[in-house]
Every structure is written in structure tokens, then in C-alpha cells.
């Protein structure tokens, strides 16, 4: 992958994430279609694909995407994918698999009965300082 291809991929992933944040999963899927997902961006592309498919209730299709993302992200960074996977299984009535995926998302040192807290942060962030308008200098 050339640096230019990598830059295009990052822009498309950022666009997909934006569509997901705006509750526009169909648009996110359109952006992700045809995206080269092998290599360094595969994990995040699979996570976004799983989240988009989950949002439009295509759980059976979301399961392989979440599963692949969970494999690629190291623990504990794979919690988001594992929890999505768990919910897909639950929505399909596969309670045992849902419990297994949720258990895999729980850190091994967590005390029994601890509620899992997942901090979801944007993967791509825009430097807000570079987006501010500069005010005109005071007249005088």
C-alpha cells in the first residue's frame, strides 16, 4: 500500500466513522464497500462494518466482521468488537455464544459481578485548534 493509498483509506475510514456517529449506517457501508481492508487498517474497517451491519439489524452478516475485528485488535482494545458480537448473538437467540463473547470482553482481573464499562472514543479525531476561525484583530 502506497502512502497515498493509505491516506485515502484513512479518509474513508474517518468518513465511515462519521456516518456511524450520525446514525447513518447505510452510508457508512457504502463508504466501506470496495475498501482494501487487508493490512494495517483491516481491524478498524471490520469493526466499522460490523457496527454498520448491526445498526441495520443484519446481525448474521455483522458476526463475521465483529469476529475478525476481535481477532485483530489485542485485548482489551477488542472489547468494542466483542460486545458487538455478543449483542448480535443475543439478537439471534444464541444466548450461550452471547455470554461467551461478553465474558471474553471482560478483563480477567475484574472482580466477579463487576459491570463492564467500555469507553468508546472516536478512532479518528480532528485537531480542533486547526479548525477554529481566527478573529479579526481589534480596530483601533
Q: Domain of 77: which CATH number?
A: 1.25.40.10
User: What mean pLDDT is reported for the chain?
Assistant: 84
> What is residue 138's predicted lDDT score, i.e. its pLDDT?
53
Query: Per the domain annotation, does 136 fall within a domain?
Result: no
- Identify the pLDDT of residue 139: 56
pLDDT-based confidence at residue 75 (cuts at 50, 70, 90): confident
Question: How much of the chain, in percent, has pLDDT values that exceed 70?
Answer: 78
pLDDT at residue 76, rounded to an integer: 85
Tell me, yes or no, whether 33 lies in a domain: yes
Given a cut of 80, whether residue 108 has pLDDT beyond it is no
Residue range 86-108: mean pLDDT, rounded: 93
Confidence of residue 132 (pLDDT cuts 50, 70, 90): very low
What is the domain extent for residue 64? Answer: 3-107+115-120
d(CA 18, CA 85): 21
Residue 133 is predicted with a pLDDT of: 42
Q: Are 66 and 47 in contact (CB under 8 A)?
A: yes
Report if residue 103 sits inside a domain. yes
- The residue ranking higher by pLDDT, 67 or 36, is 67
Alpha-carbon span 77 to 93, nearest angstrom: 26
3-state SS track over 25-67 = HHHHHHHHCCCCCCCCCHHHHHHHHHHHHHHCCCHHHHHHHHH
Please state the domain count of the chain.
1
Whether the per-residue pLDDT at 52 is higher than 80: the answer is yes
Q: Is the pTM of this model over 0.85?
A: no
Amino acid at each position: 500500500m502506497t502512502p497515498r493509498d493509505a491516506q485515502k483509506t484513512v479518509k474513508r475510514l474517518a468518513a465511515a466513522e462519521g456516518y456511524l456517529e450520525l446514525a447513518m449506517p447505510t452510508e457508512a457501508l457504502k463508504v466501506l464497500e470496495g475498501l482494501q481492508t487487508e493490512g494495517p487498517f483491516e481491524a478498524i474497517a471490520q469493526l466499522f462494518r460490523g457496527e454498520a451491519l448491526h445498526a441495520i439489524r443484519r446481525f448474521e452478516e455483522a458476526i463475521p466482521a465483529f469476529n475478525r475485528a476481535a481477532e485483530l485488535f489485542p485485548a482489551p482494545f477488542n472489547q468494542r468488537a466483542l460486545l458487538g458480537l455478543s449483542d448480535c448473538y443475543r439478537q439471534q437467540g444464541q444466548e450461550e455464544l452471547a455470554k461467551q463473547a461478553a465474558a471474553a470482553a471482560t478483563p480477567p482481573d475484574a472482580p466477579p459481578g463487576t459491570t463492564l464499562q467500555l469507553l468508546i472514543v472516536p478512532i479518528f479525531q480532528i485537531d480542533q485548534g486547526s479548525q477554529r476561525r481566527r478573529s479579526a484583530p481589534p480596530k483601533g
